[in-house]
């Protein structure tokens, strides 16, 4: 049976040389996440969720990039469909994620938020900020 503490982050380290994130869990166990898309760019750590159960990481590529959520208790990595663009990206206070997709020259710019905090990688459109002409 897994310790409940194994589901929570104690400390995070981004090892840029190795292209991985080292996750020290509260029970003393360690997980390592390697860059899921090394051919596209360098791994960047956005940070843990407010409850320390999940981690948001990105691979920036120019004006946007790809984003993933790592669920610590389930040791699962989930990609956020459509990635992210210029603008805000990060955790909400109550646990969901907010991000922008597109937003180059304000065309095709959309603000998305997580549908729920248990599966924050599943996003829904909350505002279309693109230019309409």
Reported as a single tens digit per residue, the pLDDT across 8-42 is 888 888 888 888 899 998 888 999 999 999 999 99
Domain holding 104, by residue range, is 41-128
33 in a structural domain: no
46 in a structural domain: yes
24 in a structural domain: no
Count of structural domains within the chain: 1
pLDDT tens-place string over residues 42-99: 988 789 999 999 999 999 988 889 999 999 988 899 999 998 988 889 999 988 999 9
29 in a structural domain: no
Using DSSP, state whether 110 is helix, strand or coil.
strand
Q: What is the dihedral of CA 83, 65, 88, 32, to 10 degrees?
A: 90
Q: What is d(CA 116, CA 95) in angstroms, rounded to the nearest whole number?
A: 8
Band of residue 105 on the pLDDT scale cut at 50, 70, 90 = low
């Amino acid at each position: 049976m897994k310790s409940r503490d194994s589901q929570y982050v104690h400390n995070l380290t981004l090892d840029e040389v190795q292209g991985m994130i080292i996750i020290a869990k509260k029970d003393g166990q360690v997980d390592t996440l390697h860059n899921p898309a090394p051919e596209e760019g360098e791994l960047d750590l956005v940070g843990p969720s407010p409850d320390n159960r999940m981690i948001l990481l990105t691979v920036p590529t120019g004006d946007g990039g790809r984003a993933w959520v790592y669920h610590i208790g389930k040791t699962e990595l989930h990609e956020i469909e459509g990635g992210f663009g210029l603008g805000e990206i990060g955790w909400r206070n109550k646990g969901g994620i907010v991000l922008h997709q597109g937003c180059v020259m304000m065309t095709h710019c959309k603000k998305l938020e997580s549908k729920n905090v248990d599966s924050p990688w599943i996003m829904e459109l909350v505002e279309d900020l693109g230019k309409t002409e």
